[in-house]
A and B are shown apart, each in its own frame.
Chain A
Amino acid sequence: MDSNTNYSEDLKVIKKVMEESSRFLSLSGLSGLFAGLIAFAGAAVAYFVILKNKILLTEKYFTGLTIKELRILKTELIADLALVLILAIGVSLYFSYRKSLRKGLKMWTPVSKRLLINMLIPLVTGGIFIIILYIQNQWQLIIPAMLLFYGLALVNAGKFTYSEVFYLGLIEILTGLLCAIFPVYGLLFWCFGFGILHIAYGLTMYRKYEG
């Protein structure tokens, strides 16, 4: 009997070590939840404050503006976007750090390095591509590009963390493609892709692994 409990303990150790050394498990569901809320806040600021209740990206709206007004509008939108990005990355790191402390896991491991590299390749590519779109005044494609490249980054990341991230990535890609077909509703797709999906994902993950 004694050796049998040893065998099952051995199996447990093997599974635990295999998982912990090949997957980044510090990713917290709370990161997703708060990233989603921040995305909503950013969209609300864009819609109510910057665009003053106008739907983004219609040709008519932009042609009605003077060059100066357009420049101010662009700057405000970019500032809003940058703030959302910084806050979202900040909370993700914060909650992951907290989870790693609580679970006694290391944040900086060979697998987290691999995760980062695999995420950064699509993300940086997407970032540069979006800057190009911006310079060329292809505004309509900016939100679809964000969703698409973010989705691709998550699909890549899914191999090195919870497999749910992979499926979240697939849905983000689908959202990005739909958004490219109906770019006039960019802000709504943004709210769905970065807001609702993140909140739903965050709550699911929190309940499943941290509840």
Chain B
Amino acid sequence: MRVEISGLTKLFENRVRLGIMSVLIVNDSYDFNSLKATLGVTDGNLASHLKALEENSLIRVNKQFIGRKPNTSYSITETGAQLFRTHLKALEDIIKSQ
């Protein structure tokens, strides 16, 4: 995973991944369907971006059953939170320096 000197993380350049991280930084955990609704993306699209973030240990997957229905929810990891905050700060700095 590439983090640039400016503090920007390459992985967050994608809007869907950026959206996922924005949701998870302010919520302890968020389930798949609610993420889908909030970000307005398709199942497949969301799943592939979640996978990418998970593989880089930026988010954690919690699988559980509510009654008989499987329910998958996601939460941010310490690394993920740190990188996202740095990314956010870097974006703000770039805008401010204009």
Chain A positions near chain B (C-beta within 8 angstroms): 4, 7-8, 10-11, 13-14, 17-18, 20-22, 106, 109-111
Contacts and interface: CB of A to CB of B under 8 A. Distances in A.
B89 to A, nearest CB: 11
Interface in B51-89: 88
10 contacts: A8-B95, A13-B15, A14-B18, A21-B23, A21-B27, A21-B30, A21-B38, A109-B34, A110-B30, A111-B27
Given A4-B98, A7-B95, A10-B18, A110 B27 contact: yes
Nearest to B19: A17
B90 to A, nearest CB: 9
B26 A21 contact: yes
Interface string B1-44: 00000000000000100110011011100110010011100000
A163 B18 CA distance: 25
A93 to B, nearest CB: 19
A110 B74 CA distance: 13
B91 A10 contact: yes
Nearest to A106: B37
The A contact surface, by secondary structure, is helix
Interface residues of B, number: 20
Contact of A13 (B18, B26, B98): B18
Contacts of A109: 34, 37-38
Nearest to B39: A17
Contacts of B37: 106, 109
Contacts of B23: 17-18, 21
A106 B23 CA distance: 15
Nearest to A111: B27
A17 B22 contact: yes
B38 A20 contact: yes
Nearest to A9: B15
Nearest to B73: A110
A22 B34 contact: no
Contact of A110 (B22, B34, B95): B34
Nearest to B30: A110
Contacts of A7: 91, 94-95
A11 B30 contact: no
Nearest to B84: A14
B24 to A, nearest CB: 9
A18 B25 contact: yes
A11 B94 CA distance: 11
B98 to A, nearest CB: 7
A56 to B, nearest CB: 45
B87 to A, nearest CB: 9
B59 to A, nearest CB: 14
Nearest to B20: A17
